[in-house]
Amino acid sequence: MSEPAPQIKILVVDDHPVVRDGIRGMLERDDRMAVVGEAGDGPEAVALVRAMDPDLVLMDLRMPGGDGVSAIRELRASSPTRPRILVLTTYDTDRDIHAAIDAGADGYLLKATPRTELVDAVVRAAAGHSVLAPSAARSLVDRNRAATLTARELQVLSAIARGGTNQEVARELLVSEATVKTHLLHVYPKLGVRDRAAAVRVAFQRGLLD
């Protein structure tokens, strides 16, 4: 008889002890998993990863003692592949999703994820697959589409975000007002919006404007 596969060693990172207890309880009902440690913030998570070498980290994002994105970035600076890092958070804004994935997270889930889906996601992430909540997947698809904005289109959006009218933007960029309007007409479908105010809002949400 073949020996059972080794358990997935998991570190749970969340600033709420009750949440950590709940996650531990859900995961340890599956004999493929063992929660080997808990951390209450990002710096503690980094220290425990180095001390315990878990296979996978379930990482919250916004924690008073140190955020998850900074911890992910620090862990990835030490090792690009281990441990696997799966974000588990209540936040599903484009900015949070993009920051976590860009820092090196291997997946992004919401705390509302049903237990069976969470367990499946942990197994898949530990095996090397990317795991994304539907909202995170849509956000990344939208960002990839928006990434096709040209440098000039971004300049136009930036000038509008500072309060410029089409006429003022045209004067600033040394182009005609008709050219500004044409750039905007190209931007709208790329961002999935219908007007300049929405274009600016979405551009900020997706991190295209600072």
Give the ranges where the chain is alpha helix by DSSP (H): 17-28, 42-52, 68-78, 94-103, 115-126, 134-146, 151-161, 166-173, 177-191, 196-205
**3-class secondary structure, 59:** strand
Candidate from 118-122, 134-138, 196-200 with smallest mean pLDDT: 134-138
* Shared-domain flag, residues 121 and 195: no
Residues 129 and 184 in one domain: no
Evaluate whether 170 touches 179 at the Cβ level (below 8 Å): yes
Model confidence over 153-166: pLDDT tens digits? 999 999 999 999 99
Mean pLDDT of 135-153: 77
Question: Which residue in 188, 185, 191 sits closest to 206, CA to CA?
Answer: 191
Tokens for 80, please give them: 């690009």
Please check whether residues 36 and 100 belong to one and the same domain: yes
Check whether 88 has a pLDDT greater than 60: yes
H or E element at residue 90: none
Q: Cβ(80)–Cβ(73) under 8 Å? A: no
Which pLDDT value is given to residue 69?
A: 93
Domain count of the fold of the chain = 2
26 in the same domain as 76: yes
State residue 73's pLDDT score: 92
Asked if the model's pLDDT at residue 54 lies above 70, the reply is yes
**Are 92 and 136 in contact, with CB atoms under 8 Å apart?**
yes
Please indicate whether residue 142 or residue 21 has the higher confidence score (pLDDT): 21
Task: Specify whether 81 is located in the same domain as 20.
Answer: yes
* pLDDT score of 1 more than 60: no
* Whether residue 97 sits in one domain with residue 128: yes
Least confident of 15-19, 62-66, 206-210: 206-210
Structural domain that includes position 177: 148-205
Mean pLDDT of 82-106: 89
> What is the pLDDT at residue 159?
93
Model confidence band, residue 130 (pLDDT cutoffs 50, 70, 90): confident
Tell me the pLDDT band of 146, cut-offs 50, 70 and 90: low
Say what the pLDDT of residue 147 is: 64
